Amino acid sequence: TLLERQPAKNDQQQITIWLDGVCRAYCSFHRSDPATCLTFISKLFEICINECLLSVYKRVQTKATNVLKTVIKTILKPQMETLRTNPLLKQLFKYVEHGLTYAYTLSWNCVFHLLADMFELMGKDYFEFCRNCLSSLSGLRSTKDFSFLAELDSTVGKAIRVFEPKNILQVIPLNLTGTINDAQLEQSWLLPLLRDNITHTELNHFVGYFLPIAFQLQTTG
């Protein structure tokens, strides 16, 4: 019933009040009936992503983002064992990933925050499913005069921690050979993110991937 009373996305005051109420209602619903609550989550993601993040008001975008972040942490995370065999999780991720399209240019910072939370929620097992999204993030990072570099880098950093560098480098290769051909260093933005976000990785990957580059740089230097 509450979902049917949704105000217009550009009615700034009413939609933010409504979103607060919906968030409280969902959290209460989850406490009383977790399984049934999950069946209504998709509609909330659809409203927040497809409507509220397209609002002309930053306040509405931020409120919708915070609602979804609360839902991810409070409702989805405790039910991950159930969700791993449920197509719902992939459906919700696709809603968020859709926010990388150019219609959402003004709310990309919100989309990046949500993607980071979804990466963390889903975990390493969903790396293959998230490959296209990671590739899209890399493409946006290469865009001239991109407005949300800090937020995008934070999201890629979270992906490195969740999916591990070996997998990230499959999608976003450094393209380093340790030779003069590396002068452009187009993917050099990834290096500090790897440095700051590698928490556990296989030693043999470090030896096999980075050490030859280091030796080559030493030789050419």
Tokens 């969700």 correspond to: 83
Domain that holds residue 50: 1-86
- Position 198 in a domain: no
pLDDT of 203: 53
- Crossing angle for the helix pair 149-163 and 108-122, to the nearest 10 degrees: 10
- Position 2 in a domain: yes
- Position 11 in a domain: yes
- Position 209 in a domain: no
pTM above 0.85, yes or no: yes
pLDDT of 209: 65
3-state secondary structure of 173: coil
pLDDT of 123: 96
- Position 19 in a domain: yes
pLDDT of 1: 67
- Average pLDDT per consecutive 10 residues, the chain (221 residues; last block may be shorter): 85 96 97 96 97 96 98 97 94 98 97 99 97 97 91 97 93 73 68 82 59 59 54
Query: Which residues make Cβ contacts (< 8 Å) with residue 116, sequence separation at least 6?
Result: 154, 155, 158, 159
- Position 137 in a domain: no
Structural domain tally of the chain?
1
pLDDT of 221: 54
Q: What tokens does 132 get?
A: 């296209």
- Position 52 in a domain: yes
pLDDT of 65: 99
- Position 175 in a domain: no
Q: Which residues of 15-24 are buried (b: 16+ CB within 10 A; e: fewer)?
A: bbebbeebbe
Q: What tokens does 205 get?
A: 């990957």
